[in-house]
Amino acid sequence: MRTSFVFSEVVTGLRRNVTMTIAMILTTAISLGLLGGGLLVVRMVDKMQANYAGKLEVSVLLTNDVSANDKDCTQQPCAGLRSQLDQTSGVESVVYQNRDEGFERFKQIFEAQPELLKLARPEAIPATFRVKLEDPERTEVIKNAFEGKPGVKGVDDQGKFLERFFDGLNGFRDVALILALIQAFAALLLISNTIQVSAFTRRVEVGIMRLVGATRWYTQLPFLIEAVVAGIIGAVTAVAGLVLFKAFFLDRITRNLTESGIIPPVGYLDILIVSPWLFLVAILISATTGYVTLRLYVRL
Amino acid sequence: MIRLEHVSKVYKTSTRPALDDVSVEMEKGEFVFLIGPSGSGKSTFLRLLLREEVPTRGRVYVSNFDVAKMSRRRVPRLRQSIGCVFQDFRLLPTKTVAENVAFALEVIGKPRNTIVKVVPEVLQLVGLDGKEDRFPTELSGGEQQRVAIARAFVNRPLVLIADEPTGNLDPDTSQDIMLLLERINRTGTTVIMATHDHGIVDSMRRRVVELSYGKVVRDDARGVYGVGR
């Protein structure tokens, strides 16, 4: 196989259909960019789940009466609730946080908003059992057992909030992947079309090649490589697009959230880890489409 | 060398067979004219040899190839042993004379050092030395046909098929092309030429196979075009 010959054919082919080639590259790039975005969200959700998994707690909030009068949880019903919590299976640790400690923590969290702190009074903060579970998913057990008991004001599940947040992210991921799929379909049709046009414009060459006994591979490979090269350029464009999107847009709008550690930042490393998949998908789709098109529509 | 045994070819779009029970044999090194009016089956005959078509019935042999039965994968092998020349030359306008000839070797994967050696040789054989870097549009019709012949012959085929190679050329130029084909024939290459050109057939006095309505109606060892009309 003479590679120099095949590649000069590929370059000629791509140049000859330059508008079609650009359309093919852009469609592929957008499709892969969306796929990449979706994959980045998947990575982010995974990271967040790992981050929070060890930290998620269930808060058992105590009534105002207990909060005001029982600083060290030595009286009933507080002491009884604590021992019940300790004995509940699946509970890893129970920490009692009285009203003053709670207020301190509140002040810490909202350090940046002094006007909020001015308004806040310790009386508004209930004493709380912060319960850590062995399996953070199984918050229902605590909720069912302790909600409504004397001395308990309510059970607050951090996981519920996070779940809603994850739902939002997963929704975004699904939309990105569906759009990627639609774009991929468009890219597929464009690839198929470009190859057919390309084969038509080169029918004389191909005719001669067949006549002098060039093998199937020799006649088809330039077309296949043409599609794959366009796919790879599309993937490069998509990765560049993701990097630019991160640098100029995503970093700016998520700065507050990432600096306070609520969501993990999307790093260049994440893009680097996702990009081989984009290249792989690009090569697979373009090569398969090219091959099928040549088989079905082009007599070579 | 070439043998057709009771070959018939019926195209789906036609009720009349393009070839009807044709049996003919051609020896290695023969020069054969294939004549007959348009639609008599000449092109089908040639296309069967190249396996552009498969016969509806009968067997086709070229050299050691059982053409009708062979697998698609082996077709390139068959075609590498057959050279082809057409009325319309079929040169690539964006390539020079030398590149056009080299193309035939490049696409079958011949190494570069072979190509740079044999292309000038064959261009000299067809009388085009000095015109290697011209483009087809800068050449006369006769010269373009010489390029086409060089391309067909550069891989030293066993058989050279020429489908009305002089159809677009004036009589003098045609005569030159015939001399060239004769020279190629003398190297041992079997030449099969389909033509309507009376003058050429009559002056060459070679074997003539005449087709009419898909049947072989005449096979003369040293024939002329118009005998018996």
Q: Tell whether the model's pLDDT for residue B13 goes beyond 70.
A: yes
Residue B86 domain-assigned (yes or no): no
Among B156, B185, B204, the domain boundary falls at B156
Predicted pLDDT at B54 = 93
Residue B2 shares a structural domain with residue B66: yes
**Chain B residues whose beta carbon lies within 8 Å of the beta carbon of residue A205:** 92, 103
Where does chain A have alpha helices with state H?
A: 3-16, 18-53, 64-69, 78-87, 99-109, 114-119, 140-146, 158-201, 203-211, 216-245, 251-259, 268-297
Among B156, B191, B209, the domain boundary falls at B156
Q: Across the interface, which of B73, B109, B112 has its CB nearest the CB of A1?
A: B109
Among B108, B133, B156, the domain boundary falls at B156
Residue B61 shares a structural domain with residue B168: yes
Token duo for residue A37? 């975005």
Residue B229 domain-assigned (yes or no): no
Residue B184 domain-assigned (yes or no): yes
Token duo for residue A7? 């590649």
Q: Which residues contact A23 (CB under 8 A, 6 or more apart)?
A: A190
pLDDT tier for residue B227 given thresholds of 50, 70 and 90 = low
Residue B217 domain-assigned (yes or no): yes
Residue B161 shares a structural domain with residue B149: no
Q: What is the CATH number of the domain that holds B7?
A: 3.40.50.300
- How many A×B Cβ pairs under 8 Å? 54
Computed over every residue of chain B, the mean pLDDT equals 92
Residue B104 shares a structural domain with residue B130: yes
CB contact under 8 A, A212 and B108: yes
B119 vs A116, more confident: B119
Nearest to A59 by CA among A177, A167, A154, A136: A154
pLDDT tier for residue B46 given thresholds of 50, 70 and 90 = very high
Residue B143 shares a structural domain with residue B182: no
Residue B54 shares a structural domain with residue B1: yes
Please, which residues 77-96 of chain B have a Cβ atom closer than 8 Å to chain A? Answer: 77-82, 84, 90, 92
- Read off the amino acid at residue B144: Q
CA atoms within 13 A on the CB side of B225: 15
Mean pLDDT of B160-169: 93
Cα–Cα distance, A17 to A159 (Å, whole number): 55
Average pLDDT per block of 10 residues along chain A, 300 residues long: 76 84 91 90 80 73 76 77 77 79 76 71 78 74 75 76 80 87 88 86 87 87 90 95 90 76 80 93 92 80
pTM greater than 0.90: no
Cis, peptide link before residue A114, omega less than 30° from 0: no
Residue B22 shares a structural domain with residue B116: no
Mutate to test the interface with B, among A7, A201, A204, A212 (most CBs of B within 10 A): A212
CB contact under 8 A, A214 and B155: no
Predicted pLDDT at A113 = 67
The phi, psi pair for A265, rounded to 5°, reads -70, 150
Residue B87 domain-assigned (yes or no): no
Residue B168 shares a structural domain with residue B70: yes
For B191-212, how does the pLDDT look when each residue is reduced to its tens digit (9 = 90+)?
Answer: 999 998 888 999 889 999 999 9
Residue B57 shares a structural domain with residue B8: yes
Q: Which residues contact A156 (CB under 8 A, 6 or more apart)?
A: A58, A59, A60, A61
How many domains does chain B fold into? 2
For A162-174, how does the pLDDT look when each residue is reduced to its tens digit (9 = 90+)?
Answer: 778 778 888 888 8
A220 → chain B, closest CA residue: B107
Residue B11 shares a structural domain with residue B37: yes
B92, A197 Cβ separation under 8 angstroms: no
Mean pLDDT of B160-168: 94
For B55-83, how does the pLDDT look when each residue is reduced to its tens digit (9 = 90+)?
Answer: 999 999 999 899 989 998 899 999 999 99
Residue B178 domain-assigned (yes or no): yes
Query: What is the span of the domain harbouring residue B10?
Result: 1-81+157-224
Residue B73 shares a structural domain with residue B14: yes
**Chain A residues whose beta carbon lies within 8 Å of the beta carbon of residue B84:** 211-212
Residue B10 shares a structural domain with residue B55: yes
Cα–Cα distance, A49 to A41 (Å, whole number): 12
Residue B169 domain-assigned (yes or no): yes
